[in-house]
Structure 1
């Protein structure tokens, strides 16, 4: 909130000083630039040295000002009191004490101190007016932008030559920023730029306004200008990182936040924790862990355990992730959010133990209904499918599809496969309640028909893209339709026929040799079904045609050879003379699974 150009004001403050004034003023100007750029360590060193070597009221004020700006109000108060005692007529330190009162949310004391300082200087001291106006803008919570503007307007009236124009305009912009008056704030910052075209702080603060308005692209434009003005002005990099992160450019955001850390020289653990957050968002999980390791023993913040847990989960260090997240959830239950259960569930599910699978699914289920960024039902379904718990997998793939605006083709595929696989287990699943014959028949039919529906949806989704097909969707539609009913009924109705025929058509049209080869077993099954279907219709010629197609793919198929040969004639008895044997019908064959 202070600009980089303090020379004119410093001249006012140091009238009558010794011959060392130019050097002291230069050091002070550099230190104030460091404060504004949040290079607090350097600023403290310079201002402490000045206040020690030349303990004037002004030097005490600026040391206290550093402490106030760096978030250390108690230290600031002690220094301001020392400065006020050094020169009772100098009102700057009383203005500083008002800033401390505002930081401590004591408005009445702050107002009394500022009003008295302005009155004592008869509203004519530009330095007092400027600093008093600034104090009313420093706190996000306890501020008074209207009073700040009144005081700064008085200062502006005294600044006949415009020597402090850029600084006053910047502070007025800050006051309008607090009033949520973006238009006037930008005007004031632009006025400051007109007075000093290379003022990085002005472009930074215009960018900050656009950032607050969620116009991230425009914000980035001004942050880039600020960096061109002054590559060492560190606050720009922090705000730029925020704008980039909100544009999902996480890697660039992490890079810029690290630049903020480097250029400010901060060792503040909370800011280092922010770097870890950005590293995580950039999927630099090891980088996040590296920053977290620097915070051990320096910060008592349970969020560290959360970050460790998330990063370890992403790195596949699942046991460490489980331990860290369980620690976080137990120590800070009021801060637990959806993602904590998500990453804990993922880590538990990958432990490779039955207990881990169970707990993992439990925690993913907690997160799934509230997670708006990922469809966690898909992960739960996959866990069940991998564990061959096909009934539960089918249930959760159905939830995946229901809770996704754009389900994946594979969601339909695995929903179909899970239902299909469990159809064969109905009545044989030892984890399910016992079933009688009728219940088994109905259960099998339910799962196979659900499978058919899922494969139909998958085929439809794939074929929305011109020229795209998935032949196996039709194969599994045929299989599901066949197994949904007793064999005799399926062969009688022929409901599965069009699906097998469509699969055969698409598979034979495949131009990729490897893919075509992969369909061979499915083609054999399809031909066998069609042969059996035609036998049931008593169309032996058509059945033979399909059996021969099987032999083209597998000349050694014993079942088909036997079906084509028919039964051998019985041996003729010695007496009476043998009569020709009656030709038996070809044995009907059904498709393999």
Structure 2
């Protein structure tokens, strides 16, 4: 049996591929196109570069179009663009030849690529540092099997080590990328920081710095860099992607989902990103958004009629937002039937249990408890309250409800969650009825201690004293009745005020109970003056209280109370 988190933490994180922005491109349009490509807007980038090549055909415009196709892993289209650009170059220009070398590299023709690059390097000299830069760039954007970060470093260092060459941000970007591929994070950060000194708005450099710090578990610095990148470009999806990963690592699913949603909303339709977001919305229990985005991809061949989709819909359907319990039951039964037990999530049983709990039918409540109890093996969620609610409201097994509610408190304490007054009330009330109705004599102590805790954490709720008085009336020890008297007295003193009675009209009924018990106890103890006082208070709230009227009349008839009380204005039965 697996927990949901352990599975998703393995599958949920995705690593950003290293892409490289151009240095200082001929115009802002080209630079924006490259940013769009990084930000998962490839169609927009392609359209921009195609228009640039058509409207202002030049070796440079075709080079950038070809470079786009290389990054998009379309070597044939890249070759066509580079050949078109090469046909426009004079004999002293090698920009598109470099592009053709990149195509050869992508196709695994490393010898051919090496020959092209060697010829270009020989002719570049100091006058054409950008050629060396573009060759270095080709070595770092190639796929992993043909990438050569060492050669990229050799080429770009020839440029950077030349004091007479004007430095450009892109040079340091390439160096940073090469260092990352060599797992030299510190050197990569230094290179990206040098790029930022020349271009403080370079969101790629900021994001890559954040990425390195994230991988090094320096999360605050990583977050600051991602947020700075987004303050410059609020549509830059790689920064959102990395922020999502960062929050996911910290199990802050809501913040992770927010950032993954930004990736989807600011990029072109992409199955992987949309599915990643739906999984995170699922963990964050943001079911409305999860379903809205899952509906877009549920018929994708990778997901259609799959258990992950069944699970996500079912978990949502058993919530109060949807209440599609029959559909949830069907989905979960299909999932459990088609999944080996060791591949099932314990929380699957919670969804199935909640479905059964809300479907009418003989035995469904018992089945709900069976499945919910099985799901408690996953300690990430308190299911004991669900179980207790079924015992209490449906099966009327108050004794079992009390124990389940108590387990819910213990779950909270074990998971650093503070129980609230309602928790103690639920345990105490259930234990009280478990004793008085289910005749479970083992529950009086649990009821009393729960009501004591209830009043401790919420003294404004004076009925905590009332409930303690009630349960102590049934306690087996000799002093139990006296404790009941004390709790009824404390309740009456705390509750019998004009403001409380005005705010809560039901309080008079409880005060009637308290004064009636106190009067009867005083009568039993032959403290008739007290009894008269208490019975008169009882009749203030319930003029037809039978016991109070009868005993007051008896006391008056037999002259059991002192005449001093009548003189003081205390009414007896006859004076009423």
Q: Give the gaps of 5 or more residues in structure 2.
A: 1-18, 87-93, 125-130, 561-576
TM-superposed CA distance for 1:232, in Å, is 5.1
2:8 paired with 1:2: no
- Say if 1:482 and 1:258 are closer, same or farther in 2 by CA, change over 3 A: closer
In the alignment, which residue of structure 2 is the partner of 1:290?
A: 292
Q: Give the gaps of 5 or more residues in structure 1.
A: 9-24, 102-108, 428-442, 463-467, 570-580, 584-593
**Structure 1 counterpart of 2:391, from 381, 384, 394:** 384
In the alignment, which residue of structure 1 is the partner of 2:405?
A: 397
In the alignment, which residue of structure 1 is the partner of 2:451?
A: 455
In the alignment, which residue of structure 2 is the partner of 1:19?
A: none
Relative to the length of structure 2, the TM-score reads: 0.73
- Say if 1:135 and 1:381 are closer, same or farther in 2 by CA, change over 3 A: same
In the alignment, which residue of structure 1 is the partner of 2:274?
A: 272
TM-superposed CA distance for 1:422, in Å, is 0.9
Deviations 1:349-401 (A, max 9, x none): 333555543444334334334333x4222232223222222122111111112
2:483 paired with 1:479: no
TM-superposed CA distance for 1:568, in Å, is 13
In the alignment, which residue of structure 2 is the partner of 1:187?
A: 190
Q: Please show how residues 15-414 of structure 1 align to structure 2 within 5 Å.
A: 31-45=33-47, 66=68, 69-70=71-72, 72=73, 75-76=74-75, 90=97, 92-96=99-103, 98-99=105-106, 126-127=132-133, 129-135=135-141, 148-154=152-158, 156-157=160-161, 160-162=164-166, 165-178=168-181, 181-212=184-215, 218-231=221-234, 233-240=236-243, 257-264=260-267, 266-277=268-279, 285-301=287-303, 302=306, 303-314=308-319, 315-319=321-325, 320-330=327-337, 336-353=344-361, 355-372=363-380, 374-387=381-394, 388-405=396-413, 406-414=418-426
TM-superposed CA distance for 1:420, in Å, is 0.5
In structure 2, distance between residues paired with 1:412 and 1:297: 47
Query: Mean Cα displacement is larger for which, 234-243 or 48-57?
Result: 48-57
In structure 1, distance between residues paired with 2:379 and 2:107: 43
The answer to whether the 8 Å contact 1:95/1:128 transfers is no
Question: How many equivalent pairs are there?
Answer: 514
The answer to whether the 8 Å contact 2:53/2:65 transfers is yes
Relative to the length of structure 1, the TM-score reads: 0.71
SS of the equivalent of 1:38 reads coil
The answer to whether the 8 Å contact 1:64/1:96 transfers is no
2:527 paired with 1:547: no
Deviations 1:471-523 (A, max 9, x none): 2112111211212339xx678x6342222222222122573234554222222
SS of the equivalent of 2:166 reads coil
Deviations 1:42-79 (A, max 9, x none): 33446678999999999998667545534x5xx54x55
- Say if 1:63 and 1:358 are closer, same or farther in 2 by CA, change over 3 A: farther
TM-superposed CA distance for 1:119, in Å, is 5.2
Deviations 1:533-557 (A, max 9, x none): 3344343443343333322321211
TM-superposed CA distance for 1:213, in Å, is 5.3
In structure 1, distance between residues paired with 2:332 and 2:66: 42
- Say if 1:29 and 1:450 are closer, same or farther in 2 by CA, change over 3 A: closer
Query: Mean Cα displacement is larger for which, 334-343 or 317-326?
Result: 334-343
